[in-house]
Amino acid sequence: MADPSRVHDEGERRPSHLFYQGRQRRPLIDRAEGVYMWDVHGRCYMDGSSGAMVSNIGHSNPRVLDAMRAQMQRATFAYRLHFENEPAERLAAELAAVLPAGLDRLFFVSGGSEAVESCIKLARQYALATGEAARSKVIARFPGYHGSTLGALALTGYEPLTEPFAPMLRAMPKIPAPTCYLDRDDLDAAARGRRYADMLEREIRRQGPETVLAFIMEPVGGASTGALVAPDAYYPRIREICDAHGVLLIHDEVMSGAGRTGRFLAGDHWGVVPDIVALSKGFAAGYAPLGAMAAPERLVEPVLEAGGFLHGYTYAGNPLACAAGLAVLEEIEAEGLMDNAARMGALLKARLTGLMDRYPFIGDVRGHGLLLAFELVADRETMAPLPKALNAYDRLVELAYDEGLIVYSRRTRGGLEGDHFLVCPPMIVTEDQIEEIMAMLTRALDRFAAEAGLPAEKAA
């Protein structure tokens, strides 16, 4: 069996002026197609996490590449204060048609953090325009992830990322994310859902309702919680509480949106319509940097009337990115990829859940559609995390990478301890490819169990 450290050796020998998060090096990408990626040495990888839950329609999709090539030959960039462009207009219209009724005013950006910043700034300007200047606090959940720019970071609940910048941020109130799978009370799911939702009401009262601008949440959790899904009762109760206090409900669908959970928005599973939505990642599926904020007329018009939305990004709504986004939307619809995400997601979730028989250290499998994760624990009864020093979240990813499978991991409990792994292949994944993922993942888990001295049943 290959030594996983070889992957890094290969990279470390190659000098680089670049730096990102740490010292880890990876091979150079050569090409990618469908659910597979090849490095320059010809080694093939299964993109089991769609990058960072981005490449939702798979790589090198001909429809998208053709649309981008065609747009490139006309105009790649036209500054929005100088020209309107047809791809942006068409994308806005197509997007409005798939979003819940009323969310039909679109503002384009180039990424998820930008989308979140836009949401909170629109909310703030709406409050100012409607005579509610005291409203400035945005309540968020812990754990939660909303982006790396300082405004989005202030909403993020993931300590390793927020702590160094704490003195530079205006701290925003947090309530616990609905981690019901950790609870050992005798409440049923509905009561638990309401219990977590009611924490929002208590926090709004504690802060003073007239000071609270918005509540932001990921309807299906992403990197920080590992695909956390709340009980059904949570979602409508949150909507009720926001309405009762004049607090705007922002759904961060940067990861969960654009069909990944089997519906266009994850919030659609519960029929809850937020006031503002942030989209990115799968929206242009890795073909171009693109994101969007969607809001209703009733929020946008007062802001425009009061002098305009004081916010924007140079690359926003550029014709090339919008042509890519439009082709991605068309591909999702034409190929029925949301249905495939629902069907393949159910299959993959069942297969991951099956791993719990073999590995007692898998404590939970969760998610919706193809936004799925499993969490490792020391003890399934208490859900105590594995010893931190094992660095399971890092090690298992390396072992999977060595097997040719890319998965995405984070620490579960606010970034401090716990280990979860997102298994989120592109929405084009087939049954056979799910079996390939499972075979590679099982080999990686066996190796991890052996290394860490954890129990694992023998393969049948």
Ligand X SMILES: Cc1ncc(COP(=O)(O)O)c(C=O)c1O
CB of 148 to ligand X, least distance (A): 6
Torsion of CA 319, 320, 326, 332, to 10 degrees: -170
Instruction: Give yes or no for residue 147 binding ligand X (CB under 6 A).
Output: yes
Lay out the sheet containing 276-279: strands in order across. 105-109, 291-295, 276-279, 248-252, 212-217, 137-142, 174-176
Residue partners of 53: CB distance under 8 A and separation at least 6: 222, 223, 255, 260, 281, 282, 371, 408, 422, 424
Within 48-77, which residues bind ligand X (CB under 6 A)?
A: 52
Among the candidate windows 2-10, 164-172, 215-223, 432-440, which touches ligand X by CB under 6 A?
Answer: 215-223
Among the candidate windows 25-33, 141-149, 359-367, 389-397, which touches ligand X by CB under 6 A?
Answer: 141-149
- Tell me how far apart the alpha carbons of residues 458 and 460 are, in angstroms, rounded to a whole number: 6
Length of the chain: 460
Would you list the DSSP string of 230-244? --TTHHHHHHHHHHH
Residue 353 near residue 110 (C-beta atoms within 8 A): no
Residue partners of 270: CB distance under 8 A and separation at least 6: 219, 232, 235, 236
Q: Is the CB of 105 or the CB of 251 nearer to ligand X? A: 251
Phi then psi dihedrals of residue 442, to 5 deg: -65, -40
CB of 179 to ligand X, least distance (A): 16
Would you list the DSSP string of 95-155? HHHHSPTT--EEEEESSHHHHHHHHHHHHHHHHHHTT-TT--EEEEEESB---SSHHHHTT
Can you tell me which of 254, 299, 323, 449 binds ligand X, judged by CB under 6 A? Answer: 254
Residue partners of 357: CB distance under 8 A and separation at least 6: 457
CB of 143 to ligand X, least distance (A): 11
Instruction: Give yes or no for residue 146 binding ligand X (CB under 6 A).
Output: yes
Query: Quick one: 396 exposed, middle or buried, by C-beta within 10 A (0-12, 13-18, 19+)?
Result: buried
Among the candidate windows 63-71, 111-119, 125-133, 431-439, which touches ligand X by CB under 6 A?
Answer: 111-119
Give the x-and-dash track for 266-305 against ligand X (CB under 6 A): --------------x-------------------------
At 301, list the tokens.
């018009």
Position of minimal CB gap to ligand X: 112
Can you tell me which of 36, 107, 145, 215 binds ligand X, judged by CB under 6 A? Answer: 145
Q: How many residues bind ligand X (CB under 6 A)?
A: 15
CB of 372 to ligand X, least distance (A): 15
Q: Is the CB of 369 or the CB of 404 nearer to ligand X? A: 369
Which residue shows structure tokens 């798979």? 58
Instruction: Give yes or no for residue 252 binding ligand X (CB under 6 A).
Output: yes
Instruction: Give yes or no for residue 255 binding ligand X (CB under 6 A).
Output: yes
Can you tell me which of 117, 203, 218, 419 binds ligand X, judged by CB under 6 A? Answer: 218
Q: What is the DSSP letter of 280?
A: -
Instruction: Give yes or no for residue 241 binding ligand X (CB under 6 A).
Output: no
Q: What is the DSSP letter of 9?
A: H
CB of 56 to ligand X, least distance (A): 13
Among the candidate windows 166-174, 218-226, 337-345, 369-377, which touches ligand X by CB under 6 A?
Answer: 218-226
Instruction: Give yes or no for residue 112 binding ligand X (CB under 6 A).
Output: yes
Instruction: Give yes or no for residue 223 binding ligand X (CB under 6 A).
Output: yes
Q: Is the CB of 197 or the CB of 284 nearer to ligand X? A: 284
Within 414-443, which residues bind ligand X (CB under 6 A)?
A: none
CB of 24 to ligand X, least distance (A): 18
Q: Using CB under 6 A as the criterion, which residues of the chain lie in contact with ligand X when the complex forms?
A: 52, 111-113, 116, 145-147, 218, 222-223, 252, 254-255, 280
